[in-house]
Amino acid sequence: MYKSVFRPGLLQGQIQVVTGGGSGIGRCVAHELAVLGAHVVLVGRQSAKLAAVQAEIAAAGGSASCEVCNIRVEAEVAALIGRIVVVHGRIHGLVNNAGGQFPSPLKDISLKGWEAVVQTNLTGGFLMARECLNQSMQKQGGAIVNIVADMWGSMPSMGHSGAARAGMVSFTETAALEWATYGVRVNAVAPGYIASSGMDSYPPEMRPVIRGMPKAVPLQRFGNEAEVAAAIVFLLSPAASFITGTTLRIDGGRPNGRVGMPMPPVLNPVPAFDGFHLAAEPKVLSSKGDD
């Protein structure tokens, strides 16, 4: 059973939509929302992955359903939100988690590659949020949490993703202003170096880079999926009722480092919050990562 820090039944009866719910952070968030009483609508492009998470949630006593959708296609998104509203009556919360990118220096990124990353990480999130507002939240209020990334300073070899994520931060701030009139709160979370299954999607030459990431983090470790999920749940919860337009960093202080300044040693390590009962270490971080 998921070990949430939030009280049981916190989200009882709510409809929470999670894009990219078939793996990684989205899967973890879906489990926590479900254990707190919400019905979770898992959205993604691969039905098998969504069904597997739905089965996990059901086995733990939770409630979830699956919706296959390419969030980059406007008509698909509009139809998706329409179906959810017809079946469930309304949408209480949206977690814009779906995203993706590939490593490449800017000079080598094709227009097609650039547009694919921007459409997934920015345009798709906009479409999901807009349709949730227009088809449900405009009348009944709600909360939206957008997932961005640690792009402060720069994102070398990930310039397309950094541009899209920075755009999502600006979208979050504007939507928070424009949609406050409807009782809709819009926030974002910015995960830093999180040990998630997404790490295993990068090419072999990235393995040494990934393994060395904690050296640039003041807390000197990776974060985990449950630590991101807890922040998202907080922003969706009544406890965050006066928080909107903000981006919460979940990065162990990574952007606070400075070139030429040695990282202070960690004398008293801050233990990770291991709330997700089904969490698994990415292969790239295990002893079998080079097999």
Query: Residue 158 in contact with residue 217, Cβ under 8 Å?
Result: no
- Average pLDDT on 245-271 reads 89
Helices vs strands, H then E, count in the chain? 9, 9
Q: What percentage of residues in the chain have a pLDDT greater than 90?
A: 78
Q: How far apart are the first and last CA of the chain?
A: 32
Tokens coding 93: 């919360």
Decide if pLDDT at 104 tops 60: yes
The span from the CA of 277 to the CA of 226, in Å, is 9
Alpha carbons within 13 angstroms on the beta-carbon side of residue 93 total 30
Q: Model confidence over 9-25: pLDDT tens digits?
A: 999 999 999 999 999 99
Decide if domain 15-251 falls under CATH 3.40.50.720: yes
Q: pLDDT tens digits for 55-100?
A: 999 999 999 999 999 999 999 999 999 999 999 999 999 999 999 8
pLDDT greater than 60 at residue 201:
yes
